[in-house]
Amino acid sequence: MSEEARTLPVIKYLTEVRQELQRVSWPDRHQTLQKTILVISVSIGVGIYIGVLDFIFTRLATFLIG
């Protein structure tokens, strides 16, 4: 198999990837900022929730064991 025959599928793939990326509907700056704030807020909320549960279960285990 020649070098050229092996590179053709790679070039075809990269061309198709570029075409597909041009069809993607990218979010605007406002949407990106909204989703980023949402993800950070939910992450902080879940972290606090898990932290509170951990504190409660640690106290409970210490009470029952010790």
Enter the tokens of residue 53.
């549960």
pLDDT tens per residue, range 4-30: 667 788 899 999 999 999 999 999 999
Confidence bin at 66 (pLDDT 50/70/90): confident
pLDDT at 2 over 70: no
Q: Is 15 exposed, middle or buried (0-12, 13-18, 19+ CB in 10 A)?
A: exposed
- pTM, 2 dp: 0.65
**Cα Rg of the chain, angstroms:** 26
* Domain span at 15: 3-65
Determine the distance from the C-alpha atom of residue 60 to the mean position of all C-alpha atoms in its chain, rounded to a whole number: 34
Percent over 70 (pLDDT), the chain: 91
The number of domains in the chain is: 1
Size (the chain), residues: 66
